[in-house]
Structure 1
Amino acid sequence: MEIRSCFIVLILIQCSFHAFAATASRDSVTDAELQTLSEALLAADINNCANLVTVNQQGSTSFHSHRDNAPLPLLTVQSTAYSKPTIEKLLPLHNNYVARVSDAEVVTTQETQEETAFLDAIMPTSVMKKAEKFLVDKGFITTRRRLSNGSYRNNNRAFRDAIHQIWFGLYSRENNTLGSSGFEHVFLGEIKNEKVQGFHNWVFFSKEEQNNNLNYKGKIGPNVSLGDKGMIVKHKFDWNSKEKPISSMFVGTSPEFEIALYSVCFYTRPGSRCPVKLNGKNVSVATHYLYRQGKRYVGSAFPDI
């Protein structure tokens, strides 16, 4: 009996070791590799709009201050920016979500079609292709699927399916209500406990400023210049009369650049600082994740400056 117990314990230890080793193998991606890839992603960002966006940061503020030190909008965007192929497909998604995480999301057929159209637009871009190759080559995305007869078939949609799940899969942040997703949190914004959460995309930010739903209140610390590819800003704002005391976002970059960079960091440095290099500058990207029913989803993602 003792021998059998020891044998079972040994098996459990071995299984635990193999599970740990599989997870630990993700650490084989070096900081230098992430920095090289991130520079390549920025260089490949052909739908970048930095030359079409004017940033007016105005006065400085802080996390604890409630004063409005910026009487003018942060962003002035030329209309042609919204005609960029991937941004054009991003815009219809802006009205697909309910901001309060306590309210369940109801996904209509039209909204599903708009998600599909957006993914159709971003997936063939060079930025996403580079991210796909990196994650597949490093073993984070498996493109081979085992069939019932023991043979294997290549799954050419593996990366797309993974992106769809981690960004658009619905999960609960409150009361088991399916009222949130990584995409809504990062590319739009959410309200929880009467506070703004997420909201890290310049396109939605600019549209909400234009619609008088958002009041920019000032910069926090220095920005990070991305040269002719835009910048990273840290700031404070009110959205629908609710404050976001501190936030950060890329300005001028394409949605596919942000999804590609954030997704790479989500897989390679989950829940921690992801060291990247952009325009020769060392920058960190923060990603947070949630586990729901055995699947991992983007909880949040933003440039951490």
Structure 2
Amino acid sequence: MLSDTSVSEFSGSSLSMGIAIDLQFVGGPSDADEDLETSFLLNTSPEFEFAAYTVAALTNTQPTVVIQGENVDIQAATLTVNGMTVLDKVVISFGESNKATTKHSGSATTKHNGATDAALQILVDKMWAEDQDRPTAAQVTMNWGAHISGKSGSKQSNLFTTVDESIFNKKQYADLITTYTQNLLTADVCKAEPAMSGFRKQYFQQVFDTFTATPMFTSAFAYLQSINYKETSSLANFKTKVLWPLWFGTYSRCKGPLGSSGWEHVFSGEIKGNGVDGQHDWTRYYMEQKADHMVYEGYYSHDDNLIGTFQYQWNGATKPTGGFFTGTSPAFDFSIFTVCTLAHGNGANCHFKVNNFPITVVSYTQACGDGSGTCLATSYPENQ
């Protein structure tokens, strides 16, 4: 049971029959860090949890346990510290069971009527056909290196072996890379972001307008209109009232400075302590690899060169379990993340296939700290 003394803020959750829960909270004093996405079992004994988490960690599997007739998946990531394997993070997710969802603070309902998996799959298929800017097999070659089996990985060859950089001449890549090379974002989540004005606003507005002018986003917006999502009477209205705050509204991950945004978290990546937060854009990863800022340490899983989950270090900070699409364009990612966040976010999750590979997109929102509306806390794809 959560007590008022242990949790100073709590918002929206996904609850399955009193068995497991996804939630957001702030623990301890007012200056404590905020956990924007967490989950745990309910109504189980500490002994059961200890045994289940131990098995998941040591076997590097994602076991499914049946509790009161409901399927619950357990994923346990480990790290090696001073030569010892330690448990880093446990994630509880729901299997194929039906679960109730609640309205998340500062957001619309987590799943709208009409947002069916069949309709979503039709959208993804259409967007995939429209994504003429995604890299071809000839343009990008990859070396996935060693498979990680429940322990921390070790330095491998670069994840991206070759990239035909002529692809970066395409407008969406050029505009996105400009935001990276201009160093417009402060990676440390505990340092406030500069004001969104002047040349900084100009560069972000440019890539924002470029992404929203792509065929993929046009299809994504039509999907949101079809489910009667709020403020979709016109694209201009939606971009101003929903989309810009979602991606560029700022909030705190340190209970203080407004040092984070959905855009920074998903595309650029953030540093929190000794760890990497977010960073789900292959272009960003490649550019940082090229600058010798990345150390690749092995993969957990991947589907061809479409998507992968792996471990790496960025400027000395560790991403024990990270990943992103590696065979799509950034505007495709932006578009599907937007749909999944607004129509299937906060624990509902998006489930679809790309090239017959099953994909899940996990998304969460929170109220913007700058008062602009609902902000994206995270959105990222997982291969099954």
Matches of 1:24 and 1:287, distance apart in 2? 10
Change (3 A) 1:294 1:86: closer
Change (3 A) 1:30 1:268: same
Matching of residues 1-305 of structure 1 within 5 Å: 23=109, 26-51=112-137, 52-62=139-149, 64-68=151-155, 70-94=156-180, 95-107=183-195, 108-144=197-233, 155-161=234-240, 162-221=242-301, 223-225=302-304, 230-272=305-347, 273-292=349-368, 293=371, 295-305=373-383
Aligned AA for 1:286? Answer: V
Structure 1-normalised TM-score? 0.83
Contact map agreement 1:74 1:216 (CA 8 A) in 2: no
Shift of 1:194: 1.9
More strand by share: 2
Matched residue SS, 2:157: coil
Shift of 1:92: 1.4
Aligned-CA RMSD value = 2.1
Matches of 1:25 and 1:187, distance apart in 2? 24
Any stretches of 5+ residues in structure 1 without a counterpart? 1-18, 145-154
Shift of 1:202: 0.3
Shift of 1:35: 1.5
- Identity, in percent, stands at 28
Any stretches of 5+ residues in structure 2 without a counterpart? 1-102
Matches of 1:112 and 1:37, distance apart in 2? 31
Matches of 1:25 and 1:210, distance apart in 2? 40
Matches of 1:233 and 1:50, distance apart in 2? 17
Alignment deviations for residues 220-250 of structure 1 (CA, whole Å, 9 cap, x no partner):
12x124xxxx500111100011110011111
Matches of 1:263 and 1:243, distance apart in 2? 27
Is the radius of gyration larger for structure 1 or structure 2? 1
Contact map agreement 1:248 1:303 (CA 8 A) in 2: yes
Moved over 6 A (4+): none
Change (3 A) 1:121 1:23: closer
Shift of 1:61: 1.7
- What residue number does 2:56 align with? none
Which deviates the most, 272-281 or 92-101?
272-281
Shift of 1:262: 0.5
